[in-house]
Amino acid sequence: MVGSIHDAEDIVQETFLKWLMTEKEKINNTKAYLIKAVTNNCLNHLEALKRKKNEYLDNLKPSELIDWHKFADLKKIDLDHEVSHALDVLHRKLEPLEKAIFLLREVFNFEYEELQHLFDKKKDNCRQLFCRAKEKLSNESSRIKIDIPTPKSFLNSFKKANALGHLADFIQHLGSDISTKLKKL
């Protein structure tokens, strides 16, 4: 959630120390309590970072903005462009279900059993869809499709899933993409 292993470890340790100080009799479900406490502490941490960022930006002088290029992470800009381009290719060449299975298997290392439950397809069918997707991507002379750019929301949810582990939003985007395609059929 916080995007930093060190911050996450600190938050978990802080939560555990608070838990040790609480009266255990008042807690019905320890696991749920700890999950909720860690989640709340993460959200509080992110809110504090946002406040610090806003304070910094409020105190920033316009003359400091002139040399922004000295501090810009140009590699990140290139990586964002490459990821965006790669997702555009996937969006153009693959059907929604193929794209979903390919991304979850190739990028996020989902097992076929997990894909089977997620998409309510047989494991062999998921394997076949993955192989078909790889074949389509390696075949440069595939059918010409209308060039529909990848939606920004899809790109952003992919980035969050990849960088921060927020897979729920990304899986939801994949599911809505599949259901939209099914409605058209």
Shared domain for 17 and 53, answered yes or no, is yes
pTM over 0.85: no
Shared domain for 120 and 89, answered yes or no, is yes
What element of type H or E holds 146? none
* Overall domain count for the chain: 2
Question: Residue 127: what pLDDT?
Answer: 92
Sequence letter at residue 123: K
Rounded alpha-carbon distances, angstroms, from residue 50 to 24, 77, 127, 161: 33, 22, 43, 20
User: Which of 42, 65, 88 delimits the end of a domain?
Assistant: 65
pLDDT in tens, 100-144: 899 888 888 889 998 888 888 999 999 999 999 989 888 755 444
User: Which of 18, 39, 65 delimits the end of a domain?
Assistant: 65
C-alpha span between 169 and 158 (Å, rounded): 8
- Nearest alpha carbon to residue 108 among 172, 168, 161: 161
Shared domain for 82 and 159, answered yes or no, is yes
Shared domain for 104 and 22, answered yes or no, is no
pLDDT in tens, 30-73: 889 899 999 999 999 999 988 888 887 777 665 555 555 555 55
pLDDT in tens, 83-111: 788 888 888 888 888 988 998 888 888 89
User: Is the CB of residue 94 less than 8 Å from the CB of residue 136?
Assistant: yes
Phi, psi of 142 (to 5 degrees): -70, 165
Shared domain for 105 and 164, answered yes or no, is yes
Its domain, for residue 55, covers 5-65
Question: Residue 37: what pLDDT?
Answer: 92
